[in-house]
A and B are shown apart, each in its own frame.
Chain A
Amino acid sequence: MSNHLIMKGCLRRARFTLDLDIDLDLSMPLGILGMTGAGKTTLLRVIAGLEPEFSGRVEFCGEVWHDGDHFDLVPTHRRGLGVVFQDSRLLPGQTVGSNLAFAMQRAPLVDAKLDYETLTKALNISHLLAESVDILSGGERQRVALARALLTRPRLLLLDEPLSANDADHRQQLIARLSDWLPAEGIPLVYVSHAANELAQLTRQLIVLEQGTVTEQGETHVLFEARNDAINKGTQSVTAMVMSADAEHGTATLQLDHDAVGALAPGDRVLLHREPIEGSGLGAALKPQSGENEG
């Protein structure tokens, strides 16, 4: 049962139901892909024990964390998690160093190569240790949150769009670091992102969520190849990162994935069906006939 994650049950909200029946071996890093509102973050929150209304069973490594109505079989603080939330959630009013110390003081004693020095240096936050987290940029906050999550010495690492506020260079560096570190430390990973390139580089298996239900499941490269085939057959898709958004002038700067650059021609009209948020990813199918894109 090593690294097996089993989730069966549902979470009902007023306009949304998360309905899960999955059994995954997290020896291979797992990616979760889906549009905004598909239930990706909620799924991570269920794993973390932060959704008390989830009715069903959550099991990891043969240990039942949640079963039916017995929510606190294993409460969040005893699950041995490392979590990076979309909004970082650093302890306000404290320094970067205090935030990292908070994690280290509660971490189990394990022989890990990823020590404090290595992490802070590699994540480029060693010069910020004495700074208050309240003055950090979005990218810096995410890197501190990532360091903090890794310093908990997690049995399971849950990352929810952890790099979205970093620039492209930092993102690539961080992906490379995580690709090296996590297999070496043997830390199972669940990675939520809109960015197909991040998922392709970091994960080996993928589930696709749509309106709270898993619609596709398989190896990451197989699923992405199937999507590329669809592109070649005419139903093209693009993924892009919103670099900046100017609501006043109705403009946004998108950084397109390499493949998408070839799929669009100058003058093509791109229709977005949601407000572009700086640092977030967009993914959509292209309609070549109309030249419109639904983002």
Chain B
Amino acid sequence: MPGDLQAVGLTALLAATTTLLLVPIASPLAWWLARSSSPFRSLIEAVVAMPLVLPPTVLGFYLLIMLNPESVVGGLWVELTGDSLTFSFSGLVIASIIYSLPFMVQPLQAAFRAVPEPVLEAAATLGASPRDRWLNVVLPMAKRGYLTGCVLTFAHTVGEFGVVLMMGGNIPGETRVLSIAIYEHVETLNYEAAHMLALGLLCFSFLSLWLVYRFAGHRFEVVRG
């Protein structure tokens, strides 16, 4: 049981960290995707949406290749921090950010697209600089998009399994998150413990989605692959 509580805490920490980091990463990307007419837009949109259709094991496999200590990125990380990115909490955060990127980007993109250009023009004539317009016109109008993005990203990260298994394994206190703990309980035929965690996750997922539908309507476009 203490191991399960530790897994719950670690999962919450991973989901919160991923969500917090994804807000500043996804915001400019979603803004560009919503407003740009660049011919590369559809290409970037496809790349961002890849985690929706890719099997998590494929993503986890490539992340393992890219981030292991023998790779350029992984090697640099070891030099800087002394720790390995694979089979560590830091590696899980990076993997979660990539895996959950579309869950943050797509609701934000939809919210930004709904901000009428004429309103931004009017704000400019009222003396608002581009930054001012973004903070005081776009953000208030996109707050439902942010709520949706944050809830979906958090919930999706809580439910991660394949990528975590590939990248992080099952190290208590470091990479043993809820879904891994459930898998381990089932493997060891400890169905009672598996039930406890699985039912908790079920309720959590339902509440998350209900929150999105209740407060953000249907204004999100995430399609689970």
List the interface of chain A (C-beta within 8 A of B). 48-50, 75-78, 80-83, 85, 87, 89-94, 102-103, 106-107, 148-149, 152
Neighbouring A residues of B141 by C-beta, 8 Å: 92-93
Check B118 against A89 for contact (C-beta < 8 Å).
Answer: yes
Complex Cα gap A194–B123 (Å): 26
Neighbouring B residues of A90 by C-beta, 8 Å: 122
Neighbouring A residues of B129 by C-beta, 8 Å: 75, 77
Residue from B119, B125, B137 in contact with A76 in the complex, judged by beta carbons closer than 8 Å: B125
Check A91 against B137 for contact (C-beta < 8 Å).
Answer: yes
Check B126 against A103 for contact (C-beta < 8 Å).
Answer: yes
Q: In this assembly, does B70 line the interface, its C-beta being within 8 Å of a C-beta of chain A?
A: no
Check A89 against B119 for contact (C-beta < 8 Å).
Answer: yes
B210 to A: closest C-beta gap in Å: 24
Q: In this assembly, does B24 line the interface, its C-beta being within 8 Å of a C-beta of chain A?
A: no
Check A82 against B140 for contact (C-beta < 8 Å).
Answer: no
Check B124 against A106 for contact (C-beta < 8 Å).
Answer: no
Complex Cα gap A90–B116 (Å): 11
Neighbouring A residues of B132 by C-beta, 8 Å: 77, 106
Among A49, A92, A152: residue with most chain B CB under 10 A:
A92
If over half of A's interface residues share one DSSP class (helix, strand or loop), that class is named, otherwise mixed; here it is loop
Complex Cα gap A107–B127 (Å): 7
Check B118 against A102 for contact (C-beta < 8 Å).
Answer: no
Check B119 against A92 for contact (C-beta < 8 Å).
Answer: yes
Q: If A85-B118, A92-B119 touch, does A75 touch B124 (CB 8 Å cutoff)?
A: yes
Q: If A91-B137, A92-B141 touch, does A152 touch B121 (CB 8 Å cutoff)?
A: no
Check A91 against B125 for contact (C-beta < 8 Å).
Answer: no
Complex Cα gap A180–B38 (Å): 49
Check B127 against A83 for contact (C-beta < 8 Å).
Answer: no
Check A77 against B124 for contact (C-beta < 8 Å).
Answer: yes
Residue from A49, A87, A103 in contact with B118 in the complex, judged by beta carbons closer than 8 Å: A87
Number of A-B contacts (CB under 8 A): 60
Check A152 against B126 for contact (C-beta < 8 Å).
Answer: yes
Neighbouring A residues of B125 by C-beta, 8 Å: 48, 50, 76-77, 81-83, 149, 152
**Would you list which residues of chain B between 94 and 145 have a CB under 8 Å from chain A?**
116, 118-119, 121-130, 132, 136-137, 140-141
Complex Cα gap A199–B140 (Å): 38
Neighbouring B residues of A78 by C-beta, 8 Å: 127
Neighbouring B residues of A106 by C-beta, 8 Å: 126-128, 132
A156 to B: closest C-beta gap in Å: 11
Check A102 against B121 for contact (C-beta < 8 Å).
Answer: no
B73 to A: closest C-beta gap in Å: 38
B124 to A: closest C-beta gap in Å: 4
10 A-B contacts (beta carbon < 8 Å)? A50-B121, A76-B124, A80-B127, A89-B118, A89-B122, A93-B141, A94-B140, A102-B126, A103-B126, A106-B126
A52 to B: closest C-beta gap in Å: 11
Complex Cα gap A82–B124 (Å): 10
Neighbouring B residues of A82 by C-beta, 8 Å: 125
Check B140 against A148 for contact (C-beta < 8 Å).
Answer: no
Neighbouring B residues of A80 by C-beta, 8 Å: 127
Check A91 against B124 for contact (C-beta < 8 Å).
Answer: no
Check A85 against B119 for contact (C-beta < 8 Å).
Answer: no
Closest to A103 in B: B126
Neighbouring B residues of A103 by C-beta, 8 Å: 126-127
Complex Cα gap A152–B128 (Å): 11
Check A83 against B122 for contact (C-beta < 8 Å).
Answer: yes
B123 to A: closest C-beta gap in Å: 7
Complex Cα gap A103–B122 (Å): 10
A190 to B: closest C-beta gap in Å: 13
Neighbouring A residues of B137 by C-beta, 8 Å: 91
B128 to A: closest C-beta gap in Å: 6
**Would you list which residues of chain B between 122 and 177 have a CB under 8 Å from chain A?**
122-130, 132, 136-137, 140-141
A189 to B: closest C-beta gap in Å: 15
A71 to B: closest C-beta gap in Å: 13
Residue from A81, A91, A107, A149 in contact with B119 in the complex, judged by beta carbons closer than 8 Å: A91
Closest to B127 in A: A106
Closest to A50 in B: B121
Q: If A87-B118, A89-B119, A93-B141 touch, does A148 touch B126 (CB 8 Å cutoff)?
A: yes
Check A77 against B119 for contact (C-beta < 8 Å).
Answer: no
A141 to B: closest C-beta gap in Å: 12
Closest to A87 in B: B118
Check B136 against A102 for contact (C-beta < 8 Å).
Answer: yes
Closest to A102 in B: B126
